[in-house]
Structure 1
Amino acid sequence: MQVLKRGCAVAMMALSMSGLPLAGASAEEFPFGMEMTLDALPMPGSKRVPDLDIGDNGETVLELWCKGGKGQFSVAGNTIVFIASKIEDRNCPAARAQADDELIAALSATTNWKRQGDLIIFIGPKTLRFRLNTN
Protein backbone atom coordinates (compact mmCIF):
# COMPACT_ATOMS: atom_id res chain seq x y z
CA MET A 1 0.00 0.00 0.00
CA GLN A 2 2.81 2.40 0.94
CA VAL A 3 4.58 1.67 -2.39
CA LEU A 4 1.37 2.43 -4.32
CA LYS A 5 0.92 5.80 -2.55
CA ARG A 6 4.56 6.70 -3.20
CA GLY A 7 4.20 5.68 -6.87
CA CYS A 8 1.12 7.91 -7.27
CA ALA A 9 2.88 10.83 -5.61
CA VAL A 10 5.89 10.42 -7.94
CA ALA A 11 3.60 10.23 -10.99
CA MET A 12 1.69 13.39 -9.92
CA MET A 13 4.94 15.26 -9.33
CA ALA A 14 6.25 14.20 -12.74
CA LEU A 15 3.01 15.35 -14.40
CA SER A 16 3.09 18.71 -12.63
CA MET A 17 6.72 19.25 -13.64
CA SER A 18 5.92 18.34 -17.26
CA GLY A 19 3.92 21.54 -17.71
CA LEU A 20 0.76 19.61 -18.58
CA PRO A 21 -2.32 20.80 -16.69
CA LEU A 22 -3.66 18.47 -14.02
CA ALA A 23 -7.37 17.71 -13.85
CA GLY A 24 -9.09 20.56 -11.98
CA ALA A 25 -6.13 22.89 -12.54
CA SER A 26 -6.86 26.56 -13.22
CA ALA A 27 -5.91 26.13 -16.91
CA GLU A 28 -9.09 24.07 -17.34
CA GLU A 29 -11.46 26.22 -15.29
CA PHE A 30 -13.70 28.96 -16.59
CA PRO A 31 -12.09 32.33 -15.83
CA PHE A 32 -14.60 33.66 -13.32
CA GLY A 33 -13.39 36.90 -11.74
CA MET A 34 -11.40 37.90 -14.83
CA GLU A 35 -11.60 40.31 -17.73
CA MET A 36 -11.20 39.34 -21.39
CA THR A 37 -11.04 41.16 -24.70
CA LEU A 38 -12.39 40.00 -28.07
CA ASP A 39 -9.58 38.81 -30.32
CA ALA A 40 -10.29 41.43 -33.00
CA LEU A 41 -9.03 44.73 -34.33
CA PRO A 42 -10.80 48.02 -33.50
CA MET A 43 -13.38 49.24 -35.99
CA PRO A 44 -12.34 52.11 -38.27
CA GLY A 45 -12.45 55.43 -36.42
CA SER A 46 -12.35 53.84 -32.97
CA LYS A 47 -9.87 52.34 -30.52
CA ARG A 48 -12.46 50.20 -28.73
CA VAL A 49 -12.54 46.42 -28.84
CA PRO A 50 -15.31 44.51 -27.02
CA ASP A 51 -14.47 43.52 -23.47
CA LEU A 52 -16.13 41.21 -20.93
CA ASP A 53 -15.58 41.61 -17.19
CA ILE A 54 -16.84 38.37 -15.66
CA GLY A 55 -17.51 38.31 -11.93
CA ASP A 56 -16.97 35.42 -9.53
CA ASN A 57 -20.57 34.22 -9.96
CA GLY A 58 -20.80 34.75 -13.74
CA GLU A 59 -22.29 38.25 -13.60
CA THR A 60 -20.82 40.12 -16.57
CA VAL A 61 -20.26 43.71 -17.60
CA LEU A 62 -20.00 44.12 -21.37
CA GLU A 63 -18.30 47.01 -23.12
CA LEU A 64 -18.88 46.44 -26.82
CA TRP A 65 -17.92 48.38 -29.97
CA CYS A 66 -20.21 51.17 -28.78
CA LYS A 67 -22.96 49.80 -26.55
CA GLY A 68 -22.54 48.47 -23.04
CA GLY A 69 -24.52 46.53 -20.53
CA LYS A 70 -24.77 43.50 -18.31
CA GLY A 71 -25.33 39.80 -18.64
CA GLN A 72 -24.88 36.48 -16.89
CA PHE A 73 -22.78 33.41 -17.73
CA SER A 74 -23.74 29.98 -16.38
CA VAL A 75 -21.13 27.26 -16.79
CA ALA A 76 -21.25 23.50 -16.19
CA GLY A 77 -18.14 21.70 -17.42
CA ASN A 78 -17.63 22.78 -21.03
CA THR A 79 -21.29 23.80 -21.44
CA ILE A 80 -22.09 27.50 -21.24
CA VAL A 81 -25.15 29.73 -21.38
CA PHE A 82 -25.04 33.52 -21.71
CA ILE A 83 -28.07 35.71 -21.08
CA ALA A 84 -27.85 39.42 -21.82
CA SER A 85 -29.85 41.74 -19.61
CA LYS A 86 -30.05 45.51 -20.01
CA ILE A 87 -27.92 46.78 -22.91
CA GLU A 88 -27.47 50.55 -23.15
CA ASP A 89 -27.99 52.12 -26.56
CA ARG A 90 -25.45 54.95 -26.57
CA ASN A 91 -26.48 56.68 -29.80
CA CYS A 92 -24.08 54.46 -31.69
CA PRO A 93 -23.27 54.79 -35.38
CA ALA A 94 -25.28 52.22 -37.35
CA ALA A 95 -22.31 49.96 -38.20
CA ARG A 96 -21.14 49.73 -34.58
CA ALA A 97 -24.69 49.20 -33.27
CA GLN A 98 -25.17 46.34 -35.75
CA ALA A 99 -21.79 44.81 -34.80
CA ASP A 100 -22.77 45.04 -31.10
CA ASP A 101 -26.13 43.37 -31.74
CA GLU A 102 -24.42 40.59 -33.74
CA LEU A 103 -21.87 40.02 -30.96
CA ILE A 104 -24.59 39.81 -28.29
CA ALA A 105 -26.54 37.37 -30.49
CA ALA A 106 -23.41 35.24 -31.02
CA LEU A 107 -22.64 35.19 -27.27
CA SER A 108 -26.26 34.27 -26.53
CA ALA A 109 -26.08 31.38 -29.03
CA THR A 110 -22.91 29.82 -27.58
CA THR A 111 -23.31 26.34 -26.19
CA ASN A 112 -19.77 25.34 -25.28
CA TRP A 113 -16.44 26.86 -24.35
CA LYS A 114 -12.82 25.83 -24.12
CA ARG A 115 -9.64 27.36 -22.81
CA GLN A 116 -6.23 27.29 -24.45
CA GLY A 117 -3.86 29.17 -22.13
CA ASP A 118 -5.02 32.81 -22.12
CA LEU A 119 -7.42 32.21 -25.02
CA ILE A 120 -11.10 31.56 -24.23
CA ILE A 121 -13.12 30.19 -27.13
CA PHE A 122 -16.92 30.37 -27.13
CA ILE A 123 -18.41 27.77 -29.46
CA GLY A 124 -21.80 28.07 -31.14
CA PRO A 125 -23.07 28.93 -34.61
CA LYS A 126 -20.25 31.50 -34.62
CA THR A 127 -16.96 30.89 -32.81
CA LEU A 128 -15.77 33.81 -30.67
CA ARG A 129 -12.22 34.11 -29.38
CA PHE A 130 -11.39 36.23 -26.33
CA ARG A 131 -7.98 36.84 -24.72
CA LEU A 132 -7.68 37.07 -20.95
CA ASN A 133 -6.33 40.40 -19.76
CA THR A 134 -3.40 39.12 -17.72
CA ASN A 135 -1.38 42.30 -17.26
Structure 2
Amino acid sequence: MSHTSQAFLTAPNGGHPPNYERIKEEYEVAELGGPHGSTSVRTTVINMPREVAVPDHVVWSLFNTLFLNFCCLGFIAYAYSVKSRDRKMVGDVTGAQAYASTAKCLNISALVLSILTVVVTIIAVVCIAVSAGRLYT
Protein backbone atom coordinates (compact mmCIF):
# COMPACT_ATOMS: atom_id res chain seq x y z
CA MET A 1 0.00 0.00 0.00
CA SER A 2 1.34 3.37 -0.90
CA HIS A 3 0.59 6.38 1.20
CA THR A 4 0.61 9.67 -0.63
CA SER A 5 0.30 12.97 1.12
CA GLN A 6 -1.99 15.62 -0.18
CA ALA A 7 -1.61 19.29 0.48
CA PHE A 8 -4.66 21.17 1.64
CA LEU A 9 -5.78 24.03 -0.50
CA THR A 10 -4.99 27.36 1.07
CA ALA A 11 -6.86 30.59 0.63
CA PRO A 12 -5.29 33.00 -1.89
CA ASN A 13 -4.72 35.71 0.72
CA GLY A 14 -2.37 33.84 3.03
CA GLY A 15 -4.76 31.47 4.80
CA HIS A 16 -7.06 34.20 6.11
CA PRO A 17 -10.78 34.10 5.30
CA PRO A 18 -11.84 36.44 2.53
CA ASN A 19 -13.18 39.85 3.43
CA TYR A 20 -16.86 40.16 2.78
CA GLU A 21 -18.43 43.43 1.84
CA ARG A 22 -21.12 44.71 4.07
CA ILE A 23 -24.36 45.17 2.26
CA LYS A 24 -26.00 48.41 3.14
CA GLU A 25 -29.71 48.67 2.65
CA GLU A 26 -31.34 52.00 2.22
CA TYR A 27 -34.81 52.58 3.54
CA GLU A 28 -36.95 55.47 2.56
CA VAL A 29 -39.57 56.73 4.94
CA ALA A 30 -42.47 58.57 3.43
CA GLU A 31 -44.25 61.12 5.56
CA LEU A 32 -48.01 61.17 5.70
CA GLY A 33 -49.63 63.79 3.62
CA GLY A 34 -49.36 64.76 0.00
CA PRO A 35 -46.72 63.26 -2.27
CA HIS A 36 -43.32 64.93 -2.23
CA GLY A 37 -41.90 65.25 -5.69
CA SER A 38 -42.95 63.44 -8.79
CA THR A 39 -43.65 60.03 -7.25
CA SER A 40 -46.74 59.23 -5.23
CA VAL A 41 -46.75 57.10 -2.12
CA ARG A 42 -49.02 54.06 -2.13
CA THR A 43 -50.16 52.47 1.09
CA THR A 44 -51.55 49.02 1.76
CA VAL A 45 -53.79 48.28 4.72
CA ILE A 46 -53.87 44.74 6.04
CA ASN A 47 -56.65 43.94 8.49
CA MET A 48 -55.40 41.33 10.95
CA PRO A 49 -58.15 39.51 12.82
CA ARG A 50 -57.88 39.60 16.57
CA GLU A 51 -57.16 36.41 18.45
CA VAL A 52 -60.53 34.74 18.88
CA ALA A 53 -60.96 32.94 22.18
CA VAL A 54 -62.63 29.60 21.50
CA PRO A 55 -63.60 27.71 24.67
CA ASP A 56 -62.70 24.06 24.23
CA HIS A 57 -64.58 22.72 27.31
CA VAL A 58 -61.81 20.23 28.21
CA VAL A 59 -62.27 20.55 31.97
CA TRP A 60 -66.04 20.11 31.75
CA SER A 61 -65.60 17.12 29.44
CA LEU A 62 -63.05 15.56 31.77
CA PHE A 63 -65.42 16.02 34.73
CA ASN A 64 -68.25 14.40 32.77
CA THR A 65 -65.94 11.57 31.71
CA LEU A 66 -64.86 10.82 35.27
CA PHE A 67 -68.10 11.37 37.19
CA LEU A 68 -71.17 11.64 34.93
CA ASN A 69 -70.28 9.40 31.99
CA PHE A 70 -73.81 8.56 30.87
CA CYS A 71 -73.59 6.15 27.88
CA CYS A 72 -70.00 7.33 27.24
CA LEU A 73 -71.21 10.83 26.29
CA GLY A 74 -68.60 12.37 28.59
CA PHE A 75 -65.80 10.46 26.90
CA ILE A 76 -67.01 11.42 23.42
CA ALA A 77 -67.27 15.05 24.55
CA TYR A 78 -63.70 14.83 25.84
CA ALA A 79 -62.52 13.56 22.43
CA TYR A 80 -64.22 16.49 20.70
CA SER A 81 -62.74 18.91 23.23
CA VAL A 82 -59.24 17.64 22.51
CA LYS A 83 -59.89 17.96 18.77
CA SER A 84 -61.08 21.53 19.38
CA ARG A 85 -57.88 22.32 21.27
CA ASP A 86 -55.78 20.81 18.48
CA ARG A 87 -57.59 22.86 15.83
CA LYS A 88 -57.08 25.99 17.94
CA MET A 89 -53.34 25.31 18.19
CA VAL A 90 -53.09 24.89 14.42
CA GLY A 91 -54.95 28.16 13.87
CA ASP A 92 -58.15 26.73 12.39
CA VAL A 93 -60.66 28.87 14.29
CA THR A 94 -63.69 27.61 12.34
CA GLY A 95 -62.82 23.96 12.97
CA ALA A 96 -62.11 24.67 16.62
CA GLN A 97 -65.50 26.35 17.03
CA ALA A 98 -67.28 23.42 15.36
CA TYR A 99 -65.60 20.83 17.60
CA ALA A 100 -66.16 23.01 20.69
CA SER A 101 -69.87 23.38 19.85
CA THR A 102 -70.24 19.61 19.49
CA ALA A 103 -68.37 19.05 22.77
CA LYS A 104 -70.63 21.57 24.52
CA CYS A 105 -73.79 19.84 23.27
CA LEU A 106 -72.46 16.43 24.33
CA ASN A 107 -71.50 17.80 27.76
CA ILE A 108 -74.96 19.29 28.27
CA SER A 109 -76.57 16.00 27.22
CA ALA A 110 -74.34 13.96 29.52
CA LEU A 111 -75.01 16.32 32.43
CA VAL A 112 -78.80 16.41 31.99
CA LEU A 113 -79.15 12.66 31.44
CA SER A 114 -76.89 11.86 34.40
CA ILE A 115 -78.81 14.21 36.71
CA LEU A 116 -82.10 12.68 35.53
CA THR A 117 -80.70 9.19 36.20
CA VAL A 118 -79.64 10.18 39.72
CA VAL A 119 -83.02 11.80 40.46
CA VAL A 120 -84.97 8.79 39.12
CA THR A 121 -82.75 6.43 41.14
CA ILE A 122 -83.32 8.42 44.33
CA ILE A 123 -87.09 8.48 43.74
CA ALA A 124 -87.11 4.73 43.05
CA VAL A 125 -85.12 3.96 46.22
CA VAL A 126 -87.39 6.15 48.34
CA CYS A 127 -90.54 4.54 46.87
CA ILE A 128 -89.17 1.05 47.48
CA ALA A 129 -88.16 1.96 51.04
CA VAL A 130 -91.60 3.44 51.81
CA SER A 131 -93.46 0.43 50.37
CA ALA A 132 -91.15 -1.98 52.20
CA GLY A 133 -91.74 -0.06 55.44
CA ARG A 134 -95.51 -0.37 55.01
CA LEU A 135 -95.24 -4.12 54.48
CA TYR A 136 -93.35 -4.73 57.70
CA THR A 137 -95.44 -2.47 59.95
Normalized per residue, which structure has more helix?
2
Larger Rg: 2
